[in-house]
């Protein structure tokens, strides 16, 4: 899984976990709703500033949006 895919999956998962629509999250983070949709579909790569804004509104640390789930990690 690419970092962009990981970010997209985490963004969607955390957004749904707190019960926010894409539109509401975008409004709170002061970004366009279509941008949130595009991020969740891996159409765009988020800047660090956007990652920080989204994390603040989701009540998580920015790094959590980039963390790979345990099941997705490659065996070493």
Assess if residue 75 is contained within a domain.
no
Phi and psi angles of residue 73, each rounded to the nearest 5 degrees, phi first: -75, 145
Tell me the C-alpha distance between 5 and 30, whole Å.
23
The pLDDT of residue 70: 66
The pLDDT tens digits for 27-48 are 999 999 999 999 999 999 999 9
Give domain status of residue 73, yes or no: no
- The whole-angstrom separation of Cα 60 and Cα 52 is 9
Q: Please state, in angstroms and as integers, the Cα–Cα distance from residue 40 to each residue in 45, 46, 74, following that order.
A: 10, 10, 23
Identify whether 37 is part of a domain.
yes
Q: Which residues of the chain have pLDDT under 50?
A: 73-76
Question: How far, in Å, CA of 56 to CA of 75, rounded?
Answer: 32
Domain that holds residue 11: 3-60
Looking at residue 72, its pLDDT comes to 55
**CATH number of 51's domain:** 1.10.260.40
């Amino acid at each position: 899984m690419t970092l962009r895919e990981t970010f997209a999956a985490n963004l969607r998962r955390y957004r749904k976990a707190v019960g926010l629509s894409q539109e509401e999250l975008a409004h709170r983070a002061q970004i366009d709703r279509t941008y949130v949709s595009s991020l969740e579909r891996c159409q765009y790569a988020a800047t660090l500033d956007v990652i920080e804004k989204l994390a603040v509104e989701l009540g998580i640390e920015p790094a959590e949006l980039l963390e790979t789930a345990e099941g997705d990690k490659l065996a070493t």
